[in-house]
Amino acid sequence: MSLKIYIDGKLYDKENAKISVFDHGLLYGDGVFEGIRAYNGTVFRLDEHIRRLYDSAKACLIEIPIPPEEFKKAIYSTMKANKQKDAYIRAVVTRGAGDLGLDPRKCPKPCIIIITATIQLYPPEMYENGLDLITASTQRIPSVCLSPRIKSCNYLNNILAKLEGIRAGCVEAVMLNDKGEVAECTGDNLFIVRDGVLKTPPPEAGILEGVTRNAVIELARKAKIPFKECVLTKYDLYTADECFLTGTAAEVIAVVSIDSRKIGNGKPGKVTQALLKKFRALTK
């Protein structure tokens, strides 16, 4: 059965799912998106994802042509059409088709795309053994230039940092902000554990405040794990007892080295393993 793709209220076979070459999402990255997971027929924290999608669109002056509740129903109907219970969902809203100029007024109607497929970001052995990371020289775009809270379709900044990681033999890379502080990785939020305290950069460090990140913070607080949002530097990463990443596709995954410095004992730590277990229980 061919995968069904939702575009502007209709379902198309994957092979026939097309948008205009004049769509400003293609021409300029002018659009917003969300990566969402469904587990056993239930979309994980859908309300939070849809709220962030609509907030991102509003910040870009893109008016999504359907209300949030209808968008949620469209996600579930697309999953149903594909006979899926477990899925990785990509919800995209572009500025729509216009012309070769930047002027958004030339795009009369935004385009909505919903893809419900599968994704395996990291193989199982990486969850068992942990990741090796580098620090990328490509920095996060300063918040005064572009708010990281807008989850836009323009990911070139992240892609350039990702390429640095790949060239170094790593699947992820740490990105710093313009102050040299730790922000996040190219597609995941970052946490460390030091002396039993769980730490992560605050939103003002230039991060996208992830839905999985917030779920893990809630789980840590319920488990009475000491926690704080605070500025982190490379030194804090190098001297951490544990380090892990969070993300919709990644869930919770340990980091065992950064820039050739071993983190802790070089194996996934106890807090990381406990939070991964709690998170997976949350999605059942």
Cα separation, 79 vs 5, in Å, equals 10
83 catalytic per annotation: no
Distances (CA, A) of 177 to 10, 146, 184, 185, 227: 41, 12, 9, 11, 22
Backbone angles phi, psi at 281, to 5 degrees: -65, -35
Q: At which residue do the structure tokens 């395996």 appear? A: 120
One-letter amino acid for residue 250 of the chain: A
How do 197-200 and 227-229 pair as beta strands? parallel
**Residues 4, 151, 162, 199: which is the catalytic one?**
151
Q: At which residue do the structure tokens 């605070």 appear? A: 230
Cβ-contact 96, 19 below 8 angstroms: no
Residue 80 structure tokens = 């149903």
Where are the extended beta strands (E) located within 25-168?
A: 31-39, 42-43, 87-94, 111-117, 131-135
Could you give the residue numbers annotated as active site? 151
